Homo-oligomer: A and B are copies of this chain.
Amino acid sequence: MPVPPSSAAQPAQLWPPQNGVTVDVETLRGLAERMLVTRVLDTEAVRWQRQGILPAFPPAIGQEAAQVGSAMALDRARDMAFITYRDHGVVVGLDSDLTDYMGSHLALWNGGFADPNKVRHSPLQAVVGATALHAMGWAYAQKLDGTGGAAIAYFGDGASSQGDVHEAMNFAAVSKSPVVFFVQNNGWSLSTPLDLQVAGGSVAARASGYSMPSMRIDGDDVGEVYAATQIALEHAREHGPVVIEAFTYRRGPHATSDDPSRYRSLEEERALGPDPIDVARQLVADEAWWAEAEQRAEQAVDAVRVQMQSPRTIDGNDMFDYVFQEKTPQLVKQQEQWREETDLD
């Protein structure tokens, strides 16, 4: 066969937008406020872990702009976010119930307590890469149902190495499903640096191989993230999938159990460029408002702490009750035996 022309359709150039980016003050405040909540939640959660309230915690410190900015671009009436273990900022950005969400980090319940259909985000996904496929399937359903909804799949630079991410991107591009693949390239997958993880160093670079548009953005500038995600979502609704690669940095450890000094130096951590929270503060440029917002964030997180520590109605029965919609006789029997053997204690 003669070689066909190099690429049928060059993917659309979505970024940077021709007219630049402007985000109005109200929106910026909304974004900044939620970034603050995320930061405080993260900082507090690390403390709660030390106090033994949480068994472990994976802080998102440094990724607030990427998470909050993208989540707030979603249309909660019809869109859906597929999140991982480190996407607290998305949960905050969607105004989801933080106590419900923390149920999962409390080791109370796999995935948390919230109903995904109400809060517009999935239970938190522990298997890296899986969000991409679920977002793709969910997005295909929106096309079928004509809802105009789009899915956003969150995953990391490490997750991008999973075969599932390739399968999802290819399926989505073939079927032109409304998905935004939102990669937080934070430089690290646990202890593994980008150059050992992502050949070529950029996940977005893979998009054109699928004839899919991609956007490489500063993930620490919340205005940029917000605007870019809006553009991507609109493109996705009309034409199909888009990859956003938000460059950011994991400023904390992989999780509370991790010791980053084993694999990266303090110098490296310090040479990062500005903290996204500081970037937002400059964008908002209203110190009085900022001080109030900080206080509100602390109150909000404190309320979570209080609620989190009041006892929840979870017990071993839940373990049996949610395996199926229709419980099997075996489970009924096992549950009975469990009750007998536990009650006798």
Listed in ascending order, the chain A residues whose CB lies under 8 Å from chain B are 1-4, 6-9, 161-167, 169-170, 172-174, 187, 195-202, 205-212, 216-220, 247-249, 272-273
Bound Cα distance from A202 to B170, whole angstroms: 12
9 residue pairs bridging A and B, Cβ less than 8 Å apart: A1-B187, A1-B218, A2-B247, A3-B218, A166-B166, A169-B199, A199-B210, A200-B210, A205-B208
Contacts of A218 in B (CB 8 A): 1-3
Select one of B1, B198, B211 contacting A199, CB under 8 A.
Answer: B211
The one of B7, B198, B248, B249 in contact with A170, judged by C-beta atoms closer than 8 angstroms, is B198
What is the chain B residue whose CB lies nearest that of A173? Answer: B199
In the bound complex, CA of A199 to CA of B200 (Å): 21
Counting every copy of the chain, the complex holds 2
Task: Using A198-B170, A200-B173 as known contacts, say yes or no to A1 and B273 having CB atoms under 8 A apart.
Answer: yes
10 additional contacts (CB under 8 A) given A161-B167, A200-B211: A1-B249, A2-B273, A161-B170, A165-B166, A173-B200, A174-B198, A174-B199, A200-B208, A201-B211, A208-B209
Q: How far is the CA of A200 from the CA of B197 in the complex (A)?
A: 25
Nearest CB of chain B from residue A188's CB, rounded to whole Å: 12
Which chain B residue has the least Cβ–Cβ distance from A212?
B199
Complex CA gap A172/B162 in Å reads: 14
